[in-house]
Chains A and B, each alone.
Chain A
Amino acid sequence: MKKTAPLVLGIAVGLYACAEFYIPDWHVRWLTQELQTWGTILAAFAYILGGVNLIQVNYPKIRRRERDWQYKIVMVVAAGMMLAAGLKWHKLYQSGEAGTVAIADDHGGAAAAGKATIVIDAPADVMVKVGALPAQPARDAAGKPATFVVDAGKVPVRVYNRIAGYRDYDATLEVAPAKIATVSVDPAMLWGTKGRVYNWLYDHVFAPCNATMFALLAFFVVSAAFRAFRMRNVEATLLLGAAIIVMLAAAPIGAWISDDLVDLGQWILDIPNNAGRRAIMMGAAIGAIATSLRIVLGLERSHLGAD
């Protein structure tokens, strides 16, 4: 039973997935999207299991002080930190509007011209965008708040921190002529995946590490190319020859040597390379169809696990 139920479900869903590709009716598409949503929910649950597995694998190694156990501590602590930073803690203490608006009578020159005035009272490191006017700092060099004279009516106002991870003030004010609207905003720090801490960790720790790993690829390519291009046999010699021509054709020196070399390089890419690529793709596509059929028809069951 432990295998039969998943097998039957697998066959049913597999046959449906195959059939839905050929049925254009929107009801079928809707059902497919629903099933995909279920899949996403299942995958989300699997992340909990993944987190448990992470602890199960690493904690014993730390406890037993296995080789490089210190790195395991770094990994577990880093995972915990990202989890903590990814939760929306600000929901616990932040509520209400991101800013307040006070309206008063204006007796200045703007009022005489039938215009309204908007004053932004916010910290200096905050940017302000009012209507179609360009964004500017909330305070000038002398520390005076940004002031805008606008036509009366609905005016969009956005106050935001230059750095991501803070709460924006984004509202449309309705201002009457000869009125002065003072918007007081102090963008609060957010938590969660759009929050300051998460973004900082991502931008200043994860992204550089990621870029470093990617950059290492260049050295791996050199090392692998050195071995691959050795003239061990006829095939390797052909590979070396083709590689030299393609590399020269792609570099400025290729055109300097001869335009024919550039054409030859392009020909190698377009004709023999493309033919081989398509042959691999076609073979892989047929293999994929056959493998899918094996699974859908229930002939392959090893993925269903133990009884």
Chain B
Amino acid sequence: MKKAILLVLLIASIGSGAHAETTANQWRFGMGMPDKGDQQDGRHIEIHWTRIDNTNKVKVAVLRRIVHEQAWWDHRTGWRKAEDPPDVGYGPVDINSQPQFGATFVNGTVRLQDLGKPIQIVDGPVQIIGHTFAVGDPIGVWTLIGMVDDDGTQQSFVDEVPPGPSYVYALVPYTPGAEDGQMVEFPEYAIQSWAASPDTSFFNLDRWFFASLVAATALLFLGFMQLAKTRAKSMFIRRIPGVDAIEDAIGRSTEMGRPVLYVTGTDEITNIQTMASLLILGHVAQMTAEYDTEIKVANLYPLTMVVAEEIVRQGYSNAGRIDAHKPENVMFITSEQFAYAAAINGMIMRDKPATNIFLGRFFAESLMLSETGFVVGAVQVAGTAEFTQLPFFIAACDYTLIGEELYATSAYLTREPNLLAQLKAGDALKMNIMILIVAGVIAATFWGFDLGAKLMPS
């Protein structure tokens, strides 16, 4: 538990004469915010317990009830008054005289001074014995939220609740029947918790490593940006042949008088690969404008089309050729994957573009497009971070931007020091990750220490 958890040792004495069958029980019970970071959202409560005397082989029914600390509306009875949270309590569930759960059980009549008294049932008849319950069933004012096998070890249970009110939990040991969910006997004392509200955390500690990666990237980025201001010329950036080939391919298109076909992938604009593709499109559009070559841009989604149209317009504007821009060359085709592939294949066969540029996220259509492009003899540059499609592009295209190269291309094409700093920051981070991997391998090999699980618990 991340926050302080009240730990209660509930000790129930030997049952009264009326309940001679009840054995002495001790419970250790705790309640609070769950351990998992993504459950520390103000909607989850974790309860955990240990039944110290586990002589009886029982299951434990976990019950929850809401405590209305403000006046509330009941659709059957109208407005009802606010309730005082019930006290912590325990006692046997009386199944001999009144086979029911009821209001006194929940309203706090079972308190420390009631030690040994049976829990009286007065509210709303609910047949328990022999009845089969399922998780989610109401039992009186309670809701059954779990039925847990209890072998005496520490058990825990995470409950998702609507945020706002307080909740009380009851743990009721029962002897299961032949049917799943059937309760046939209550051989031990049940316990009732104090009222608690789900708590929230400001930071998901399970994700600290991801946050530190982003922070490290940002810091390295800013550091290299500063460096680039003073020593830009000394910053070595390796050549990316696929990117260098784009300008040559556009030149070839110009010489041949054929268009350039640019495909932005088959994912929504929310995907970072599509964004990377659109960033490169601006540079490509500027080049085609400078070379006075037609560019056709195919989009699977209309939102991508709208942004692509603006980017191409900007590219033509940057080249001082806004008059040459044809908005109808930026096309929304269809949102269906194979219909999209068929349409682009048709365009390739009809228009015979001299250059095909496939950048973004691709799936099964990658090979269809690139093979058709090969048939018409186009120079093809492809790039994706989708590793399942990379072999197809490598086999069918002249140049392939693999994974990170797709993201680096925009910066590479601008040659702006600020953006080149991104490439250097990425390289530096990769170096650090490599060191981390080696350290992890050594730790796992020699000490059996799982570094990955420590860094990324979720």
Chain A residues near B (Cβ < 8 Å): 18, 21-27, 29, 39, 42-43, 46-47, 49-50, 53-54, 56-57, 60, 67-68, 71, 206, 209-210, 213-214, 216-217, 220-221, 223-225, 227-228, 277, 280-284, 286-295, 299-300, 302-307
Q: Say yes or no: A300-B430 contact (C-beta < 8 A), given A25-B200, A217-B364, A305-B311.
A: no
Contact B368–A50 (Cβ < 8 Å): no
A8 to B218, CA, bound (A): 19
A299 to B313, CA, bound (A): 20
Please report whether the interface of chain A is mostly helix, strand, loop or mixed according to DSSP.
helix
Shortest A203–chain B CB gap in Å is: 14
A67 to B218, CA, bound (A): 51
Q: Say yes or no: A22-B207 contact (C-beta < 8 A), given A220-B368, A280-B385, A303-B278.
A: yes
Contact B407–A224 (Cβ < 8 Å): no
A71 to B270, CA, bound (A): 32
Q: Say yes or no: A295-B305 contact (C-beta < 8 A), given A26-B200, A213-B341, A282-B433.
A: no
Instruction: Tell me whether B320 is interfacial, beta carbon within 8 Å.
Output: no
- B279 contact from A26, A27, A53, A291, Cβ within 8 A: A291
Contact A50–B332 (Cβ < 8 Å): yes
In the complex, which residues of chain B have a beta carbon less than 8 angstroms from the beta carbon of A46? 301-303, 305-306
A27 to B163, CA, bound (A): 10
A25 to B200, CA, bound (A): 6
Q: Say yes or no: A214-B42 contact (C-beta < 8 A), given A224-B371, A281-B403, A294-B419.
A: no
Contact B202–A283 (Cβ < 8 Å): no
Chain B residues near A (Cβ < 8 Å): 37-43, 163, 200-204, 207, 210-211, 213-214, 217-218, 221, 268, 270, 272-273, 275-276, 278-279, 282-283, 301-303, 305-307, 310-311, 313-315, 317, 322, 327-328, 330-332, 336, 338-339, 341-342, 346, 350, 364, 367-368, 370-371, 385, 387, 390-392, 394-396, 402-408, 410-411, 418-419, 422-423, 425-426, 429-430, 433
In the complex, which residues of chain B have a beta carbon less than 8 angstroms from the beta carbon of A217? 364, 367-368
A281 to B315, CA, bound (A): 31
Contact A224–B279 (Cβ < 8 Å): no
Please report whether the interface of chain B is mostly helix, strand, loop or mixed according to DSSP.
helix
Shortest B220–chain A CB gap in Å is: 9
Contact A23–B203 (Cβ < 8 Å): yes
Shortest A252–chain B CB gap in Å is: 24
- A305 contact from B310, B346, B395, B423, Cβ within 8 A: B310
Q: List 17 A-B contacts (CB under 8 A).
A: A23-B202, A50-B302, A60-B328, A209-B339, A224-B370, A284-B385, A284-B403, A287-B403, A291-B272, A299-B418, A299-B419, A302-B283, A302-B315, A303-B275, A303-B310, A303-B311, A306-B314
In the complex, which residues of chain B have a beta carbon less than 8 angstroms from the beta carbon of A54? 332
Closest to A47 in B: B302
Shortest A233–chain B CB gap in Å is: 14
Closest to B418 in A: A299
Contact A302–B407 (Cβ < 8 Å): no
In the complex, which residues of chain B have a beta carbon less than 8 angstroms from the beta carbon of A42? 303
| CB-based closest 3 A-B pairs | A305-B310, A50-B302, A287-B407
Contact B275–A295 (Cβ < 8 Å): yes
Contact A287–B202 (Cβ < 8 Å): no
A269 to B256, CA, bound (A): 43
A21 to B322, CA, bound (A): 41
- B342 contact from A213, A282, A304, Cβ within 8 A: A213
Given contacts A25-B42, A67-B350, A291-B272, 11 further A-B contacts (CB under 8 A): A21-B210, A25-B202, A53-B305, A209-B339, A227-B395, A280-B390, A281-B385, A287-B404, A291-B279, A303-B279, A306-B317
Contact A281–B387 (Cβ < 8 Å): yes
Contact B302–A302 (Cβ < 8 Å): no
Shortest B241–chain A CB gap in Å is: 15
Contact B346–A68 (Cβ < 8 Å): yes
Shortest B267–chain A CB gap in Å is: 13
- B426 contact from A21, A27, A50, A290, Cβ within 8 A: A290
Q: Say yes or no: A22-B203 contact (C-beta < 8 A), given A53-B302, A210-B339, A299-B418.
A: yes
Q: Say yes or no: A302-B402 contact (C-beta < 8 A), given A18-B214, A26-B200.
A: no
Contact B268–A57 (Cβ < 8 Å): no
Closest to B423 in A: A290
